[in-house]
């Protein structure tokens, strides 16, 4: 089963969803702003990718954080707290297929991951 996590107004998420639809991949959509995320779900991603990859330091949400909040993110536990409080700071989309996790969208990587 393929599951795609993100927020619907993100341009990269829109591209990923379009690509999946155009290539006839069925997937479950999870809007983590509306449906939320659990600490356990984020920890599962961290177990595969590491916490650093999940925080979008290029995004508006990160840039708007005060310096103390940014500096407080030093390990997986502090990263989880930040992501639960500010889900828009999570780099997106996050694609899960079996035990595979892909953060961000690149058509060639999705193709490779989903046609194995």
Whether 63 is catalytic is no
Q: Which residues fall within 8 angstroms of residue 59, CB to CB, at 6 or more apart?
A: 88, 89, 91
Number of CB atoms found within 10 A of residue 80's CB: 22
Helix 39-49 crosses helix 76-85 at what angle (to 10 degrees)?
130
Strand partners, 102: 95
Strand partners, 90: 55
Active-site position among 10, 20, 82, 96: 10
Helix ranges, 1-116 (H): 11-22, 39-49, 51-54, 60-64, 67-71, 76-85, 107-114
What residues act catalytically? 10
């Amino acid at each position: 089963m393929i599951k795609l996590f993100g927020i619907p107004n993100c341009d990269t998420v829109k591209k990923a969803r379009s690509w999946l639809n155009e290539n006839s991949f069925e997937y479950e959509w999870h809007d983590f702003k509306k449906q939320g995320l659990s600490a356990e779900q984020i920890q599962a991603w961290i177990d595969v990718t590491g916490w650093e990859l999940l925080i979008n330091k290029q995004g508006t949400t990160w840039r708007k954080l005060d310096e103390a909040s940014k500096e407080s993110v030093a390990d997986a536990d502090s990263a989880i707290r930040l992501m639960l409080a500010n889900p828009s700071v999570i780099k997106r989309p996050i694609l899960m297929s079996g035990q595979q996790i892909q953060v961000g969208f690149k058509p060639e990587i999705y193709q490779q991951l989903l046609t194995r």
